[in-house]
Chain A
Amino acid sequence: MAVSLYVHIPYCVQKCGYCDFNSYAGAQPSEQEGYVRVLLTEMERWAGRPELAGAPVPTVFVGGGTPTMLEGRHLAAVIAGAARHFALTNDAEITTEANPGTVDFEGDKLKLAFDAGANRISFGVQARQPHLLQRLGRIHTPDQVERAVAAARAAGFRNINLDLMYGLPGQTPAEFRETVDWALSLGPKHISAYSLTVEEGTPFFADFDAGRLTLPAEDDEEEMFAAGKAMLEAAGFEHYEVSNFARPGHRSRHNQVYWRNEPYLGLGCGAHSFLQLRAPLPNLGAPRPRLSASRVQGGAPIETAPGRPGQRYRFWNLKTPSPYRAAIERGDWPVEAGEVIDRPSEMAETMMLGLRLLEGVPEERFRNRFGITLNDVYGTTVDRLISRGLLERAEGAVRLTPRGLRLGNQVWQEFLQEQK
């Protein structure tokens, strides 16, 4: 069974105001080097496990953080390591994320990454207007975006994604249209357009709470979404997921693995995996108290019951870099905890994730996977959502209507259990 690969690089030049990712600013080069070393050790150890032995790996995604924070040779070592340890398919999609502000225009960072095997690059662009970039806490300028895209092309990349954002504080619909126009002019194969989410625990959240963050009016936000979609579709992009657009044949294969609820292995601190275990793995049993770095470094780790072979789990590594590193250097698995994904959960998550894609959940794929029809499991739920105008049955699939696309949460939650 194919397994995709996610590799986490937890470093950034600085944290953006809206960012709730697992990333840390201000790491020294020596720390980064040590991190890459244990990352390669983690790869090597997974390569020896039955889940990965001989498993074709169709996609690799190096994300962050900012992978391009690493020196070129280290980024290349990570990519090459994945290719060395795992059975990458011939046509494997290998993506690295990149911050235009960390591209060395005089150096050969992107070239090293490409030569090591990367064939897709994803730039965090967000907006064209300097005042918006500044408000977001981005380190790059619009000019650097243009140069970074050119550098990627020069390095050999043909498959380029640009991440954009809308619904930003102080952003007007005209500005977002300008951003989309400009992004299209840079010739990407893929564009992600995210509505800003103010996440708890971020500086934006504190600002929002204190009334210091004025978000665009609902009508304006709606207009940005509609205008962005229309412009991208007019330019030949297909809207294929809530926030994702691609030219035909250039959808992100890696991300579709998530949305189709297929297996993946996450490497690096805080990375999540979704795998059916074939051998025991520690710390997947009963939940346990969160480990502090000092407790992990200071002595024997607290282990709970190992995950049982045969079961599907979603599990995650220790979140911060140092306990993660310490665990690997000790020879332990750096797994922090996980949850069993039993069949009902797997079905529910297949719906929750699959209904993010505009193609929806193909009924045949559901039946092949679970041996029961989607209708038998979710018929009444689907009918109810159809009567609310949020879902439709079309082309052999259950999928969101245009209205459902704007009210996805109302749809997805219907397939889940309530939780207090």
Chain B
Amino acid sequence: MIDQKHIRNFCIIAHIDHGKSTLADRLIEFTGVLSAREMQDQVLDNMELERERGITIKAQSVRMDYQAEDGGHYVLNLIDTPGHVDFTYEVSRALAGCEGALLVVDASQGIEAQTLANVYMALEHNLEIIPVINKIDLPSADPEKVKKEIEEVIGLDTSIAIMASAKSGIGMKEILETVCAFVPPPKGDPRAPLKAMIYDSYYDSYKGVVTYFRIFDGAIKKGDKIRFMASGKEFVVDDLYVFRPGLVPVDELVAGEVGALAAAIREVKHVRVGDTITLAEYSAKEPLPGYRKATPMVFAGLYPVETNDYGKLRDALEKLQLNDASLHFEPETSEALAFGFRCGFLGLLHMDVIQERLEREFDLDLITTAPNVIYHISMTNGEEVIIENPAMWPDPTNIAAVMEPMVKASIITPSEYVGPLMELCQDRRGTFVNMEYLNEKRVNLHYRLPLAEIMYDFFDQLKTRTRGYASFDYELTGYEESDMVKMDILLNGESVDALSCIVHREKAERIGRPLVTKLRKLIPRQQFEVPIQAAIGNKIIARENLAALRKDVLAKCYGGDITRKRKLLEKQKEGKKRMKAVGSVEVPQEAFMAILSAEVDDD
């Protein structure tokens, strides 16, 4: 059995691109868990999508053995955390399993908004934070300035800060030594009744649900009968594992350790992230306090292009949900798109990732409707309704007030971009809160903004207006009354429910006009003229005509052309198959997302 005082559980906090995954790889390599040859680049980002996009979506863990200079033989559990704001809940879960964190900051970039948010979260969890100044070998590196920033902005002591370059392997030993010396060992009584917190799970077709946990008290062995305290379900542990980084079987795990178990659990609903595992015979009285629950912020309709794929889509969503408790979905019917699901996501990146995984891993052709936030509506009869779908928007004459979700946004930017950013926030119905100088060149700008306004290309705009130098984070602050209306889109005079969206009354025309223009460009010409209109109630606020298709004919087809021209026509037909017939109009998938990218009129 490992002595608890030689266990260190820690995570890495970093902004995207600041080198977190590379650092994790180097530490794994340095401790010899995997040889350099076995290392696949960035082993912890093991989803194909994660590697492709260079982002971390799921928290991952690895157990490393380390012989420290103090003579101690340490077990180091590194829990990798996602960096994107959408996945904050994953971070909070990972933090609860750690006693320390490496704060990785790029030596030339400095602190970013998302880093700040995660550091504050780590401080809330009482984690020991070790600053790591990464990429010190870049010519533009200014580690002293970054150290000063860390001290002034976060208030951390940087005397133990480590100068590192994950890419060149500089500072790896120092990091590991500092982790052993400064991160406290886990507390907890190995002889007390078992208390282990579930921080993740996934479904394996052979093992059943594999449950990831961190033990706070007690111990767990193969063959133990365990109970999930929230669901009350009991199972016998078939296998116990540690992460190296694949699952490696062990016989026992004790307080302070991180691991996984398989217990022939067939239904994922019995394993709730945040629940406490205890022993059936020697059980804890109280569960551990749960995690902050992930609440979906953004909703969109997901529909199969082929109506027959509805069942396939449902199965796919269920499978993804096994690994992603934050994904919500329920059946929904649209006049235009037939049967699909209204899905709740943590944010736009999360939505994007789910959509891509559905298409890639389950070979589904999907139509996604434009995402929207949740509105709370007070009706004139005193009723309160919650609207997740614009199609369900009540008759305006029955609406007393509409409340929309607001966020507190923090934007860290070089000071020369403050003007353009304030303009952007103003344009997005933002209210200025304050601005603090991080140093003479960088400021932290605080705004109150409607969540709906940061969903549409806000991040892209932010990057464009600051040449990529600004970073952005937000947190939800509640609901506020707002003059929101439903804007309908009519094709050929018929309202298309899946194209309806909720907009602020004063911005309706500015959104409606470019939207119909965009739709005119996206929808291929039909055999007849199609008017495209945007309307608020009965009032048409924008209109364009999609001219009839007049000519679509291959001029030549002789003996040598037949094979090629046939393929051309077959391809054209395939493209048509991917469109959705809405009434008599063929609408391509992208049209349902058009509002996301319609340029807003400047006048």
Chain A positions near chain B (C-beta within 8 angstroms): 6, 8, 22, 194-197, 218, 221-222, 225, 242-243, 255, 257-259, 264, 266, 270-272, 274, 314, 316, 339, 349, 352-353, 356, 388-389, 405-410, 412-414, 416-420
Is B573 within 8 A of A418, CB to CB?
A: yes
Is A266 within 8 A of B559, CB to CB?
A: yes
In the assembled complex, the CB of A251 is this many whole angstroms from the nearest CB of chain B, namely 14
Verify if B570 is at the interface (C-beta below 8 Å from A): yes
Is A352 within 8 A of B566, CB to CB?
A: yes
Which residue on chain A has the smallest CB distance to residue B568?
Answer: A409
In the assembled complex, 7 residue pairs joining A and B whose CB atoms fall closer than 8 Å, in A order, are: A195-B555, A352-B569, A405-B553, A406-B551, A408-B554, A409-B553, A409-B572
Verify if B39 is at the interface (C-beta below 8 Å from A): no
In the assembled complex, the CB of B567 is this many whole angstroms from the nearest CB of chain A, namely 6
Verify if B571 is at the interface (C-beta below 8 Å from A): yes
A-B residue pair count with CB separations less than 8 angstroms? 101
Per CB-CB distance, the 3 closest pairs between chain A and chain B, nearest first, are A419-B570, A408-B553, A418-B574
Kindly list chain B residues whose C-beta atoms are within 8 Å of the C-beta of A413: 569-570, 572-573, 576
Which residue on chain A has the smallest CB distance to residue B563?
Answer: A314
Given A272-B560, A407-B553, 16 extra CB contacts under 8 A:
A6-B560, A218-B550, A264-B559, A266-B559, A272-B563, A314-B563, A316-B560, A406-B553, A407-B527, A408-B552, A408-B554, A410-B552, A413-B573, A416-B573, A418-B570, A419-B571
Which residue on chain A has the smallest CB distance to residue B547?
Answer: A218
Which residue on chain A has the smallest CB distance to residue B527?
Answer: A388
Chain B positions near chain A (C-beta within 8 angstroms): 527, 549-560, 562-563, 566-567, 569-574, 576-577
Which residue on chain B has the smallest CB distance to residue A339?
Answer: B563
Is A407 within 8 A of B551, CB to CB?
A: yes
Cα A255 to Cα B549 in complex, Å, equals 29
In the assembled complex, the CB of A134 is this many whole angstroms from the nearest CB of chain B, namely 22
Kindly list chain A residues whose C-beta atoms are within 8 Å of the C-beta of B554: 197, 242, 408-409, 412
Is B562 within 8 A of A353, CB to CB?
A: yes
In the assembled complex, the CB of B524 is this many whole angstroms from the nearest CB of chain A, namely 11
Kindly list chain A residues whose C-beta atoms are within 8 Å of the C-beta of B552: 406-410
Cα A260 to Cα B59 in complex, Å, equals 64
In the assembled complex, the CB of B546 is this many whole angstroms from the nearest CB of chain A, namely 13
In the assembled complex, the CB of A128 is this many whole angstroms from the nearest CB of chain B, namely 20
Cα A417 to Cα B566 in complex, Å, equals 9
Cα A197 to Cα B551 in complex, Å, equals 12
Which residue on chain B has the smallest CB distance to residue A259?
Answer: B557
Kindly list chain A residues whose C-beta atoms are within 8 Å of the C-beta of B557: 258-259, 353, 356
Given A388-B527, A407-B527, the answer on whether A416 and B556 have CB atoms closer than 8 Å is no
In the assembled complex, the CB of B536 is this many whole angstroms from the nearest CB of chain A, namely 33
In the assembled complex, the CB of B202 is this many whole angstroms from the nearest CB of chain A, namely 31
Is A407 within 8 A of B549, CB to CB?
A: yes
Cα A270 to Cα B570 in complex, Å, equals 23
Is A272 within 8 A of B562, CB to CB?
A: yes
Given A416-B573, A420-B574, the answer on whether A197 and B556 have CB atoms closer than 8 Å is yes
Kindly list chain B residues whose C-beta atoms are within 8 Å of the C-beta of A389: 527
Kindly list chain B residues whose C-beta atoms are within 8 Å of the C-beta of A259: 557
Cα A73 to Cα B559 in complex, Å, equals 27
Is A194 within 8 A of B555, CB to CB?
A: yes
Q: Which of the listed residues B549, B566, B571 has the most CB atoms from chain A within 10 Å of its own CB?
A: B566
Cα A22 to Cα B558 in complex, Å, equals 13
Kindly list chain B residues whose C-beta atoms are within 8 Å of the C-beta of A255: 558
Cα A264 to Cα B561 in complex, Å, equals 13
Is B570 within 8 A of A258, CB to CB?
A: no
Kindly list chain B residues whose C-beta atoms are within 8 Å of the C-beta of A272: 559-560, 562-563
Kindly list chain B residues whose C-beta atoms are within 8 Å of the C-beta of A409: 552-554, 569, 572
Kindly list chain A residues whose C-beta atoms are within 8 Å of the C-beta of B572: 409, 413
Partner of B551, one of A218, A271, A414, A419: A218
Is A194 within 8 A of B563, CB to CB?
A: no
Given A218-B551, A221-B551, the answer on whether A416 and B558 have CB atoms closer than 8 Å is no
In the assembled complex, the CB of A283 is this many whole angstroms from the nearest CB of chain B, namely 15
In the assembled complex, the CB of B68 is this many whole angstroms from the nearest CB of chain A, namely 57
Cα A6 to Cα B560 in complex, Å, equals 10
Is B527 within 8 A of A271, CB to CB?
A: no
Is A242 within 8 A of B562, CB to CB?
A: no
Kindly list chain B residues whose C-beta atoms are within 8 Å of the C-beta of A266: 559-560
Kindly list chain A residues whose C-beta atoms are within 8 Å of the C-beta of B527: 388-389, 407, 410
Kindly list chain B residues whose C-beta atoms are within 8 Å of the C-beta of A353: 557, 562
Kindly list chain A residues whose C-beta atoms are within 8 Å of the C-beta of B558: 255, 258
Kindly list chain A residues whose C-beta atoms are within 8 Å of the C-beta of B550: 218, 222, 406
Kindly list chain B residues whose C-beta atoms are within 8 Å of the C-beta of A222: 550-551
Cα A243 to Cα B571 in complex, Å, equals 23
Which residue on chain B has the smallest CB distance to residue A196?
Answer: B555
Is A416 within 8 A of B569, CB to CB?
A: yes
In the assembled complex, the CB of A281 is this many whole angstroms from the nearest CB of chain B, namely 17
Kindly list chain B residues whose C-beta atoms are within 8 Å of the C-beta of A316: 560, 563
Is B570 within 8 A of A416, CB to CB?
A: yes
Is A242 within 8 A of B566, CB to CB?
A: no
Is B551 within 8 A of A349, CB to CB?
A: no
Cα A418 to Cα B558 in complex, Å, equals 22
Cα A339 to Cα B566 in complex, Å, equals 13
Cα A170 to Cα B570 in complex, Å, equals 32
In the assembled complex, the CB of B265 is this many whole angstroms from the nearest CB of chain A, namely 39
Cα A412 to Cα B563 in complex, Å, equals 13
In the assembled complex, the CB of A114 is this many whole angstroms from the nearest CB of chain B, namely 23
In the assembled complex, the CB of A94 is this many whole angstroms from the nearest CB of chain B, namely 16
Partner of B566, one of A6, A274, A349, A407: A349
Kindly list chain B residues whose C-beta atoms are within 8 Å of the C-beta of A257: 559
Kindly list chain A residues whose C-beta atoms are within 8 Å of the C-beta of B569: 352, 409, 412-413, 416
Which residue on chain A has the smallest CB distance to residue B571?
Answer: A419
Q: Which of the listed residues B553, B567, B574, B577 has the most CB atoms from chain A within 10 Å of its own CB?
A: B553
Kindly list chain B residues whose C-beta atoms are within 8 Å of the C-beta of A243: 555-556
Is B567 within 8 A of A419, CB to CB?
A: yes
Kindly list chain A residues whose C-beta atoms are within 8 Å of the C-beta of B556: 194, 197, 243
Cα A272 to Cα B555 in complex, Å, equals 19
Kindly list chain B residues whose C-beta atoms are within 8 Å of the C-beta of A270: 560
